[in-house]
Amino acid sequence: LKASKITGQLQLHDGSIGLVAGRFNELVTAKLVSGAREALIRHGVDETRITEVWVPGAFEIPMAAHRMASTGRFAALVALGCVIRGATAHFDYVCSACVQGVTQVSMQFGLPVTLGVLTTDTMDQALERAGGKAGNKGADAAAAALEMADLLQRIPGTLSRKPTER
């Protein structure tokens, strides 16, 4: 048996890419969205194939992602949010609900939903990761979405799950 190594390329074939962004800490999340859009466009994705959905906060990201996943139109989704640790335990609940919810949607639909949700102690740390000296995690998550969508199509023996057009 010939050994094979399968990796995904950064290119979109069918369907659209959905960005799901939380408005909470919008100063940061707007930069994550721009970074994600720029990365997608840089990798040849036509703007008409990017759907941007805004929700109140990171807690609501899984619900919107779930609805988008159910349409079958998306090749992948990108969760973009920013949770900054306050004085309370609210931070931990919002983070875990968001991450667990996003994971559930991804596994339920067999659809890549990548994580561009920042969870930091301070606003400065968040800004560093939203186009500052630590790069743009929105761009990274968008690239991961493209890679995973392409990768899944290359894994042999799986039924074709191409998204429906538009």
Name the residues annotated as catalytic: 90
Residue with tokens 């800490």: 25
- Token pair of 146 as six digits: 């493209």
Identify the helix (H) or strand (E) that includes residue 54.
strand 50-55
Query: β-strand 16-22 against 130-132: which pairing, if any?
Result: unpaired
Single residue of 44, 72, 86, 135 touching ligand INI by CB under 6 A: 86
Residues in region 22-41 near ligand INI by CB under 6 A: 22, 24-25
User: Comparing C-alpha atoms, which of 98, 105, 112, 113 is closest to residue 150?
Assistant: 112
147 binds ligand INI (CB under 6 A): no
Under DSSP, the state recorded for 9 is -
4-12, 35-43, 57-65, 146-154 -> range binding ligand INI (CB under 6 A): 57-65
Under DSSP, the state recorded for 60 is G
Single residue of 58, 102, 111, 148 touching ligand INI by CB under 6 A: 58
41-49, 53-61, 124-132, 158-166 -> range binding ligand INI (CB under 6 A): 53-61
Residues that bind ligand INI (CB under 6 A): 22, 24-25, 56-60, 81-84, 86, 90-91, 94
